[in-house]
């Protein structure tokens, strides 16, 4: 990558997670991390060995810069690639804020949380979970 990309990548890193959504048509991906220019390197096992990893999502998928300069989303399960932008600059400029999820009262009928996962969470999260269940029970039965 060229030196002029360094500041663009650093600026994009600083704006995560406020601007963490990459879109291309119907494809929407959340960028969990972007890598500084100095740490970008080819990734063994990726379907395009000539590409460079510039970021990743939280599921193990990668954002790659291909040899033609385009940025692609690489799905680790299918090894499919989707072109997201013609260049790293265009990719960084296209990142947007996540769309908030707004739920109406009663819209969620049930939820399940793995008890092992819940036990791994800090006490504050467990307390909020219990209080939420009590409020829901009171709302439905009170």
Boundaries of every domain in the chain:
3-94, 101-142
- The predicted-structure confidence for 52-80, as pLDDT tens digits, reads as follows 888 888 888 889 888 898 999 988 888 88
CA distance 57 to 139: 37
Are the C-beta atoms of 72 and 51 separated by less than 8 Å?
A: yes
Are the C-beta atoms of 110 and 119 separated by less than 8 Å?
A: no
- The predicted-structure confidence for 98-125, as pLDDT tens digits, reads as follows 888 787 888 877 777 777 777 776 665 5
The alpha-helical segments, DSSP class H, found in 26-122 are 88-94, 115-120
The arithmetic mean of pLDDT across residues 34-46, rounded, is: 65
Instruction: Give this prediction's pTM.
Output: 0.65
């Amino acid at each position: 990558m060229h030196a002029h990309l360094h500041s663009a990548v650093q600026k994009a890193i600083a704006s995560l997670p406020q601007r963490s959504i990459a879109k291309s048509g119907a494809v929407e991906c959340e960028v969990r991390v972007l890598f500084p220019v100095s740490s970008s390197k080819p990734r063994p096992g990726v379907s395009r060995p000539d590409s460079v990893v510039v970021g990743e999502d939280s599921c193990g998928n990668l954002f790659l810069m291909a040899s033609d300069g385009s940025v692609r989303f690489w799905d680790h399960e299918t090894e499919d690639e989707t072109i997201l932008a013609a260049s790293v600059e265009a990719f960084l400029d296209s990142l947007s804020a996540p769309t908030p999820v707004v739920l109406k009262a009663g819209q969620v009928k049930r939820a399940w949380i793995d008890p092992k996962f819940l036990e791994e969470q800090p006490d504050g999260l467990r307390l909020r979970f219990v209080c939420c269940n009590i409020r829901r029970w009171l709302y439905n039965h009170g």
